[in-house]
Structure 1
Amino acid sequence: MKNTGLNFRHLYYFWVVAKEDSITRAAERLGVAIQTISTQLGLLEKSIGKSLFAPQGRRLVLTEAGRIAMRYAEQIFALGEQMEEALADLDVGRTMRLTVGISDSLPKLIASRLLAAALALPERVKLVCYEDRFEALLGELKVHKLDVVLTDRPVHSGTVLRVFSHLLGESELMLFGMPALAVKYQSGFPGSLQGAPLLLPTRNNAIRGRIDHWLEAHDVRADVVGEFDDNALLNTFGRNGLGLFAAPSALAEDVAAQFGAVPVGPLHGVKEQFYAISNERKIKHPAVEAILSAIHGKDLTSDHKERT
């Protein structure tokens, strides 16, 4: 195998400088002299034969070569952090770590049900979950800071990311509400929804357009009293009786147990899909594979898999 001669200490100093946008701040963070940082950067640039930074006022900005190097450095040091954490987990008897990104639009009850498959593995799994917007999570997945992203949409077919979108399953939606509110709209559903207070996802959510289309198809003019980016916040408002809200019908028992809400009526034809987004890897993560084959035979699971 060819030896590149790359010095990883030099690369680490470059990575910190790029993160801090300043040699001075990088030196403070690392606890070394400014001259040490400058010398290490010079040696790195000499070894690869390209300039990595260009001055812009008092700041340093990455050159094209620097941006390429930074993408690789992000992956290298993210994997290094994961290695340290995995080795530390051995001290407490854990043999596997699973780092999951959960889209803020994905029902958390669905996420917990899917992740239960990973926790059921014979090996002891340490689960680390982060919640964020879909696009931000894909960025973290790209640099291997996450093992998998659970979300309600596939990656767009035109993306340059080398990832797989795995359709785990789907469930038809149903409207729920707290008992005192739900009883007003159960009889005569869906015509009873005229003027009903609804809590809906914002229009950038994958399911919102399908709900709007369903309302139009049934000639229902409801009162949208709230729109939410975050699914958990939407459910919290629903639990406080401020409006009716949609959730997967497969989770009716969970919604009743967690929120005390009861079904109002089904949104026939409106289905929410659940995906796992994973990197293209030569070595597959056992816990990710467990998620991809989770809940076989139930309405939240499908054997379909598509490459984006």
Structure 2
Amino acid sequence: MLNYRQLHYFWIVARTGSITRACEQLNLTAPTISGQLSLLESNLGLQLFQKVGRHLELTEDGRRVLAYAEPMFEAGVALEAMIRSQPGQQPRMFRVGVADVVPKSIVYRLLAPTMSLDNPPLRIACREDKLERLLADLAIQRLDLVISDSPVPAQLDIKTRTIKLGECGIGFFATQSLAQACAGEFPGCLDSQPLLIPGPQSVVRGRLLRWLEECRINARIVGEFDDSALMQAFGTAGTGIFVAPRVIADDLLRPGGVVMLGETEAVAEAFYAISVERRVNHPGILAVAEGARHDLFQQ
């Protein structure tokens, strides 16, 4: 028979990432927790953790066990919080993973509608990372939603529900001084000018390079960035012309800031909300999808 105390110790170690931190949370000694984990692994006939350096990482079997343990114990935590609080005062967690290639202005505008929800109120926990790692956490329900510029890669065997939030063309932005050095009409004015582009992880990168080639633009690429915010920081400092989704142009075109050299719908950038079936009716996910459809992308 499954020992739920041992399973609880496993859940805490998986959440904290180490036996030492689990000891602090549970107020137990390391030998006690280690012994109980060994018994659990023996009873299940599975290896749940593997040691990587000084840290413990879940094995594939460990991730599968955690997928069942997590909702069980999270429900207990939520129940305890509900009992201790007055009805309607306890916010519901909304755990969002953001692929690092997605512009931060897009993320803010997608998540903004969730901040005004009051039935129930939400508390957002937002984390940025590579898409593959975020999807792994989504699969074991450490996240409720992943925001990405692409659907789930076909090679990943993860059962998900993907909602296309919308798409838009891109704009080319530069400082005033750099814009003055660009001669001629757009897009010819980009020829031989310093250009900052998204890194290989971004879906829009390939489309952008093909479009430049079709327009016979001799791109002088001076920087590649997986992090869109870092690319914009370099661009606004005058390092080069940078690209950004057209729908956030107003956030960039501030007095004394950058100007837009031109735009194209031939290079479309799309954004997706990825969740698992059991989370798809989460009020935060519904608010993100509704806000994207009727506000940000106005579909």
TM-score of the aligned structures, taking structure 1 as reference length:
0.79
State the shift of 1:107 in Å.
1.0
Local SS of the residue matching 1:257: coil
Q: Distance in 1 between matches of 2:234 and 2:264?
A: 20
Structure-1 residue corresponding to 2:272:
275
Query: 2:68, 2:255 → 1: CA distance?
Result: 43
Residue in structure 2 matched with residue 50 of structure 1 by the alignment: 45
Contact 2:48 2:62 in 1 (8 A): yes
Query: How far has the Cα of 1:37 moved from its partner?
Result: 3.9
**1:100 aligned residue (93, 96, 100):** 96
Counterparts of 2:289 and 2:63, CA distance in 1: 34
Quote the RMSD (CA, aligned, Å): 3.6
Query: Which residue of structure 1 lines up, in the alignment, with residue 126 of structure 2?
Result: 129
**Structure 1 residue 147, shift from structure 2 partner:** 1.3
Is this contact kept in 1: 2:204–2:269, CA < 8 A? yes
Which amino acid in 1 is paired with 2:98?
A: I
**Matching residue within 172, 177, 190 for 1:175:** 172
Percent identity, aligned pairs only, is 39
Q: Could you tell me how far 1:26 is from its partner in structure 2?
A: 6.6
Query: Could you list the per-position Cα deviations for residues 85-137 of structure 1 after superposition, in whole angstroms to 9, with x for gaps in the alignment?
Result: 77788699353332211111001111111112222334332222111111111
2:145 & 2:70 partners in 1: Cα distance?
Answer: 17
C-alpha separation between the residues in 1 aligned to 2:96 and 2:198? 23
In 1, Cα distance between the equivalents of 2:105 and 2:60?
43
The AA in structure 2 aligned to 1:241 is G
1:182 Cα deviation from its structure 2 partner: 1.6
Q: 1:20 to 1:110 in 2, by over 3 A?
A: closer
Give the letter aligned to residue 239 of structure 1.
T
After superposition, the Cα gap between the structure-2 partners of 1:282 and 1:153, relative to the gap in structure 1 and judged at 3 Å, is: closer
Q: Which residue of 1 aligns with 2:290?
A: 293
Cα deviation per residue 1:159-183 (whole Å; 9 max; x = unaligned)? 3211111100001001011111123
**Matching residue's letter, 1:8:** Y
Aligned counterpart in structure 1 of residue 113 of structure 2, from 96, 112, 117: 117
Aligned-partner Cα distance in 2 for 1:104–1:260: 24
Matches within 5 A, 1:1-308: 5-15=1-11, 30-33=26-29, 36-37=32-33, 40-41=36-37, 44=40, 48=43, 50=45, 52=47, 68-74=64-70, 76-77=72-73, 93-123=89-119, 124-185=121-182, 187-257=184-254, 260-281=257-278, 284-297=281-294, 300=297, 302=299
Q: How many residues align?
A: 295
Q: Which has the larger radius of gyration?
A: 1
Distance 1:19 1:216, change over 3 A: same
Task: Assess if the C-alpha contact under 8 Å between 2:138 and 2:145 holds in 1.
Answer: yes
Q: Distance in 1 between matches of 2:49 and 2:89?
A: 47
Distance apart, 1:20 and its partner CA: 9.0
Whole-angstrom distance in 1 between the partners of 2:255 and 2:276: 33
Aligned with 2:2: secondary structure?
coil
Return 31-40 or 202-211, whichever deviates more. 31-40
Structure 2 residue matching 1:146: 3-state secondary structure: coil
- Whole-angstrom CA distance in 2 between matches of 1:95 and 1:61: 30
Whole-Å separation in 2 of the counterparts to 1:142 and 1:174 = 35
* Unpaired segments ≥5 residues, structure 2: none
Q: Deviations over 1:168-221 (max 9, x none)?
A: 000100101111112322632212211110111112211100110011001111
| Cα distance in 2, alignment partners of residues 21 and 207 from structure 1 | 35
1:226–1:77 distance in 2 versus 1, CA, 3 Å: farther
